[in-house]
Amino acid sequence: MSCKLLMISFATIIAGVCFSVQAQEATKKPDGAPVVKLIDAGASPKSKLRMTPAKGSKQTSIMTMKMDQAIVMSGQKLPATPTPAMQFTMEVAVTDVATNGDFAFEFSYPKASLVDDDNVQAAVKEAMKGMLKSMVGMSGSAVVSNRGFTKEADMKLPPKVNAQIKAMIDGMKESMSRLSSPLPEEPIGVGGKWSVTQLVEANGMKLTQTSIHTLNKLEGAKYDISIEVTQTAEPQEVKTPGLPEGSTVTLESLESTGKGTMMLDVTRVFPVSEIKSDSKISMEMNTGGQDLSMQIDMKMEMSIGPAKAGEE
């Protein structure tokens, strides 16, 4: 795997854990569940936050992801290579709602494209277009509780996805099953705050993620929530897809922080959200008998919003 694709792989993992409510695409039920703790119940009146999408409801959202990175390789700062923002169209249809509040939905990614940017080299654009093209057509289904816990999920890849992208996505499936932001059991009001702690495993890398959610405003079925996210990882060997035979990657440290906002409409699967994160990653690589150290400073911006006319 080239250095550029390796960075994209790590960036995708980090971006993924910043998803807000209901970004679940996995192949199995996770062994452990996120731990949700109420920090402050907030002011009265209080009510229980619960997801209530209706059977047959549909939603089309656009996810936009932009990342910038500075890389130091064995003490030498590499020239910055700008990359364009990526956009994914996500379609969701709720297929069933159980009496206990669990709801099932199907999802697909019918479109993926780059946001035009004159500062990006043509070769970089072509490489990323090829990667995105192979991801178009991903689909799947999930069953989620009305508190946002994933109970079942499945993801299907397009038949012509290339082997490298398939390996990368396969490595992310476990983490994707835990990308929801579960809601507290207790009733809360404005000013209410809760934490969600979960272990995320992606591409062989284990992360601990803690997010703090604060309810700032509520209007009927819509909740305005601010989010703060931190991630850490212990030193570990990383099984990165696509590495040359005999090559190894060891994660020395990972620290990531992020802040964002989310407008949660409990009648819909995807929220309207924005989040920015800063990550510092230190790795050791051995390839072809050569040892390389790598430090990465990465900035990520991600948003999920409703599709506009002509984007569906």
Tell me, yes or no, whether 312 lies in a domain. no
Q: What is the pLDDT of residue 252?
A: 95
Tell me, yes or no, whether 250 lies in a domain. yes
Domain span at residue 85 reads: 3-306
Tell me, yes or no, whether 282 lies in a domain. yes
172 or 60, which is more confident? Answer: 60
Q: What is the pLDDT of residue 155?
A: 81
Tell me, yes or no, whether 77 lies in a domain. yes
pLDDT-based confidence at residue 239 (cuts at 50, 70, 90) = confident
Q: What is the pLDDT of residue 223?
A: 94
pLDDT-based confidence at residue 200 (cuts at 50, 70, 90) = confident
Q: Considering only 125-134, 158-167, 225-234, which range has the smallest mean pLDDT?
A: 158-167
CATH number reported for the structural domain that contains residue 259 in this entry: 2.30.230
Percent of the chain with pLDDT strictly greater than 90 = 43
Tell me, yes or no, whether 311 lies in a domain. no
Tell me, yes or no, whether 7 lies in a domain. yes
Q: What is the pLDDT of residues 256-283, one digit of tens each?
A: 999 999 999 999 998 899 999 999 999 9
Three-class DSSP labels, the chain: CCHHHHHHHHHHHHHHCCCCCCCCCCCCCCCCCCEEEEEECCCCCCECCCCCCCCCCEEEEEEEEEEEEEEEECCEECCCCCCCCEEEEEEEEEEEECCCCCEEEEEEEEEEEECCCCCCCHHHHHHHHHHHHHHCCCEEEEEECCCCCEEEEEEECCCCCCHHHHHHHHHHHHHHCCCCCCCCCCCECCCCEEEEEEEEEECCEEEEEEEEEEEEEEECCEEEEEEEEEEEECCEEECCCCCCCCCEEEEEEEEEEEEEEEEEECCCCCCEEEEEEEEEEEEEEEECCEEEEEEEEEEEEEEEEECCCCCC
pTM for the predicted model, two decimal places: 0.83
Tell me, yes or no, whether 40 lies in a domain. yes
Tell me, yes or no, whether 262 lies in a domain. yes
Q: What is the pLDDT of residue 119?
A: 85
Residue 291 has pLDDT above 50, yes or no: yes
Domain count, the chain: 1
Q: What is the pLDDT of residues 87-143, one digit of tens each?
A: 989 999 999 999 999 999 999 989 989 998 888 888 888 888 877 887 788 888 989
